[in-house]
Structure 1
Amino acid sequence: MSAVSYNIQYGIGLDGGFDLDRIVAAVRAADVICLQEVTRGHPKTGAIDMAAAIAERLPEHFSSYHPAADVDAGSAMEDGRAVNRRFQFGNMVLARWPLRAVRGHLLPRTWRKDKLNLQRGALEALIDTPVGPIRFHSIHLDHVDARERMAQVRAVRAIADHYAQTGGAITGAHVYGLPEVDDRGDFVLMGDFNCEPDSDEYGFMVEDGSVVDATAADPGWSWRPMYDQPAAAKQRLDYAFCNRALAERVSGVRIDRDAEGSDHMPVWIEIAG
């Protein structure tokens, strides 16, 4: 089975144009899709509901969206009715199989006003795949402050490492006539970590050996500058970290450097049964 992570930058590509169709075309073949920077109400994209638009374009996938940041964007009373207008920014998970249990985690952040600082999140989805139950997390970390990122990677590791202790999204589901959610401990932490392999944040993710960078087989860049950033250097910012047992079953890694729908590139892994 295949999984892909893609920071889609609101659907704005390397050429500065907005095009959801090329975003979807780049990931459609994947069995599990983890997206970051999915928005609703963004002024640069005509305020469309990107989560709904992406789900509509991928009718063969089940999906969930977690808006980590959610702020008012011009709500008002119109003709005696309250009209909600929100700007939402978050992560999405889509899969060919139902998402058995989903949780949206808010990651640590600071009160920073000199530069953009959106609430970041980690969307967790437990999926019964043909190769067994796997928890996929679509993750997006801060792009400015290394100290904030370190707090966030510590939180991400805690989410992954202590799943059993925290109980997941639900236990005792039989009370509602629902099947119990089971888990054997395999997980994938996919997304835009906004740090390079020589960073302290990356080092913390892998230092104890229980979590492995499953994408290390392709150590090249996953972010490149847009048309208006000629002096910027390419960087490696996007990863798929797995627990060690699952990482040993990763049979292929690929970064799609031909994609032009965002400044990030889709990062693919193949998992064998």
Structure 2
Amino acid sequence: MQRVLVEAVMATDIGSLRIMTTHLEYYSQQQREIQIGAIRNLHRDACSMSQRKFLKEEQGGTFEVSPRPAEALLCGDFNFPATAREHAKILAPFDDNSTPGFHDAWPVIHPGTPHAPTVGIHSVDFVDQPECFDFVFITEGLVSRLSNIGIDAETEASDHQPVWIEFK
């Protein structure tokens, strides 16, 4: 199955924010790690572009370039648990000083508490027990703005439970 990442820049009460959502490969850890590498490269590129001054020709008209802020939120179905090495790869620091790393939003609000399960709460045939496969990762500048994160455990609209966050 083809997998994608969708990126949108939103004007929010806390400033411009790059929001990315994805659904990583389920069956192949190797493929997930390649996808994580691509996500990290995309994030690095966007952070680099956030410092760029746009040319006059890039402002207005058909070829207008939209700014991509460094502050970002990455969410979705990652198809691995919080203990997986793929999780650590997302959180790994970048090798430059200009790319803000990602933080898992759950332990920011719930330190020392395991992630709430997002899959297997309701009957599914692909996990033996409830597990967390759905995460929200935020950049450093958003950590102090995060005020809450939770799971909607009631809905059965999907085989995964939605994760929600709030910023102050």
TM class, shorter-chain normalised? Answer: 0.7 to 0.9
Letter in 2 for 1:157: R
Hey, what does 1:267 align to over in structure 2?
A: 163
**TM-score, normalising length: structure 1:** 0.51
What amino acid maps onto 1:203 in structure 2?
A: A
Equivalences, count = 152
Match of 2:28 in 1: 145
Show structure 2 runs of 5+ residues with no match. Answer: 95-100
**Correspondence for 2:117:** 221
Q: Is the contact between residue 252 and residue 270 of structure 1 (CA under 8 Å) also seen in structure 2? A: yes
Identity over aligned pairs, percent: 24
Aligned to 1:249: 145
Quote the RMSD (CA, aligned, Å). 2.5
Change (3 A) 1:176 1:133: same
C-alpha contact 1:215 1:269 (8 A) present in aligned 2? no
Gaps of 5+ in 1: 1-117
Cα distance, 1:142–1:228 mapped onto 2, change above 3 Å: closer
Is 1:192 the counterpart of 2:98? The answer is: no
Letter in 1 for 2:12: T
The 8 Å contact of residues 134 and 163 in structure 2, kept in 1 or not, is answered as: yes
Sort the Cα spacing of 1:179 and 1:148 in 2 relative to 1 into closer, same or farther, 3 A.
closer
Cα shift readout 1:72-115 (whole Å, capped 9, x = no counterpart): xxxxxxxxxxxxxxxxxxxxxxxxxxxxxxxxxxxxxxxxxxxx
Cα distance in 2 between the residues matched to 1:155 and 1:247: 23
Contact preservation (8 Å) 1:188, 1:242: yes
**Kept in 1: contact 2:24–2:32 (CA 8 A):** yes
Secondary structure at 1:120 match in 2: coil
Map 1:231-246; keep pairs closer than 5 Å.
232-246=128-142
